[in-house]
Chains A and B, each alone.
Chain A
Amino acid sequence: GQNIDQPTEMTATEGAIVQINCTYQTSGFNGLFWYQQHAGEAPTFLSYNVLDGLEEKGRFSSFLSRSKGYSYLLLKELQMKDSASYLCAVRDYAAGNKLTFGGGTRVLVKP
């Protein structure tokens, strides 16, 4: 099976930076995804990492270290609309390439 851990909740100020960590254990790692989910809405794709390193996309960046089973999502220049849950998900080829999701981190951006 897989074990995906991420903090339950984080609070940050508008304009600041927040880093959301995710650790995972998997037997057949085949990619890590970050999704954003606003309250009452569907999860939407943010980023994908399969090789070690940093992927940057505008204000959002995602980092992966496969040897450490670790990823983080970095949100810069926070805006009020970034208040949402952020879900870390791991794909495992030993499990038929299914995506397994962590419990999500609820980020609250304060003025």
Chain B
Amino acid sequence: DAGVIQSPRHEVTEMGQEVTLRCKPISGHDYLFWYRQTMMRGLELLIYFNNNVPIDDSGMPEDRFSAKMPNASFSTLKIQPSEPRDSAVYFCASSTDGASKYGYTFGSGTRLTVV
């Protein structure tokens, strides 16, 4: 398996622009998570899905952020409009179930810079 695949690896955009991050989870994994990592706040959970259904979006910072999972093999995280404080590394992760002893498998991340 190719693991969790994220695109793009790097994104530089201007403030006010729309940004879309993409994720393909490991086949057969029913859970998908979006995390954001910054030096100040560490790794924070934004939202997670179970069987394509959003379960908990309490970590989404504000209405500018939205996430979708139209099918079992694809998810997007959208920021509109983007702001400089959104600059971070965004990780997607997946897991087989909610209590796996192997935890989550992370993608390589998208490094977002908003200027």
Contact B42 A42 (CB under 8 A): no
Shortest A14–chain B CB gap in Å is 27
* Number of A-B pairs, beta carbon distance below 8 Å: 48
Interface presence of A110 (CB below 8 A): no
Q: Which single residue of chain B is at the shortest CB-CB distance from A96?
A: B56
A22 located at the interface, meaning its Cβ lies under 8 Å from any Cβ of chain B in the complex: no
Residue among B43, B99, B109 having the largest count of chain A Cβ atoms under 10 Å: B43
Interface of A is mostly: strand
Residues of B within 8 A of A44 (CB): 106
Interchain CB contact under 8 A, A35 and B107: no
The closest CB in chain A to the CB of B50 belongs to A96
- Which residues of B lie under 8 Å from residue A89 when comparing CB positions? 103
Where chain B touches its partner, the secondary structure class is: strand
**Chain A residues bordering chain B, tally (CB within 8 A):** 23
* CB–CB B104/A99 < 8 A: yes
Contact across chains for A45 and B105 when beta carbons are under 8 A apart: yes
Q: Which residues of A contact B (CB under 8 A)?
A: 30-31, 33, 35, 41-45, 48, 50, 87, 89, 91, 96-104
